Amino acid sequence: MNNSIGILKFQPVFQYRIWGGEKLKNVLQKEYSETHIGESWEISGVKGGETAVLEGPLKGAILPDLIARYKSDLVGQNCYKKYGNEFPILIKFIDADAPLSVQVHPDDALAKERHNSLGKNEMWYIMDADKDACLLIGFTEDLNKVNFEAHVNRGDLLPLLNKIKVKKGESYYLPAGRVHAIGKGVLLAEIQQTSDVTYRVFDYNRVDKKTGKQRELHVQESIDAIDFSPVEKYQTTYERTPNQSNPMIDTPFFKTNYISSNEMLTLTYNLGNSFKIFICTDGLALLKTPNQELTIKKGETVLLPANEEQLTVVPQGTVELLEVAY
């Protein structure tokens, strides 16, 4: 039986961060009164940070309750079989007005053992970058557990991190275990596993104005989480052919495609295969199913249930979307 759910848009959950700025408000038109908001959680099943439906007959319902109610009709058969009522993906917008800590995330096995959590494999899509804005990803030389810890203790780790100058439209995949940091002046969309486990290894010795203290570091925890294997390439390359879905990332945790369209585009899916998430990184469009019409604009995210077989995108000008599935 096909339970009609419809396209879902959620009320974001805004997160204070020591490094947060004003671009979520000024560039993405998010509405909040606090300062130093660094993250807008767009679709989240993280405990304590669940997003609730913004409008329509399901207004106010949080994501885990929707999965419990609609099961595979919402998330798809394979996803429900593996994760049950847990939504496997967390979607964020991140505004770095100052550098994020140098950090690493555990994989599924270590996160399960230590935190009863999923690991955190993630990808970034650069939506905006100030001149000379950078990411730090991976190491410039071969390191191991012993000399890594020695560099951290001496305070000279930063020069050993790859500094990558970035611009709008670039994408980077960060598997669990890869040391990284987002630099000052970067606004990005993040697609990740549903996890809030982060091990900080360096935080610029700064003091959080809210607490009056430096943030906790997790150097010992990080050592067993880091993958020290050499990496040749960090940036994800992908086709940008207009008016079609272009594959970007295909992992066991999520799949992401890029769409740039200036004409009506109809997307067809296998019924019950997987939910689809659409993140609007630029422009404006009308999204249509046989039973519903809904607008999406830059800085908004929607969830298309797995029991919808077709979605028509009607751009108002040119629209850019990231299409995400399990």
Q: Which residues touch 259 (CB under 8 Å, ≥6 apart)?
A: 244, 245, 246, 265, 313, 319, 320, 321, 322, 323
Pull the structure tokens for residue 66: 């929707």
DSSP 39-56: EEEEE---TT---EE-SS
Residue with tokens 């670039």: 170
Residue 49: burial class (beta carbons within 10 Å; 0-12, 13-18, 19+) = middle
Under a CB-based contact definition with an 8 Å cutoff, are residues 105 and 195 in contact?
yes
Q: Which positions are annotated as active-site residues?
A: 200
Write out the two tokens for 207: 């003091």
Which residues lie closer than 8 Å to 95 by C-beta, 6 or more apart?
A: 20, 21, 22, 23, 24, 27, 37, 38, 39, 187
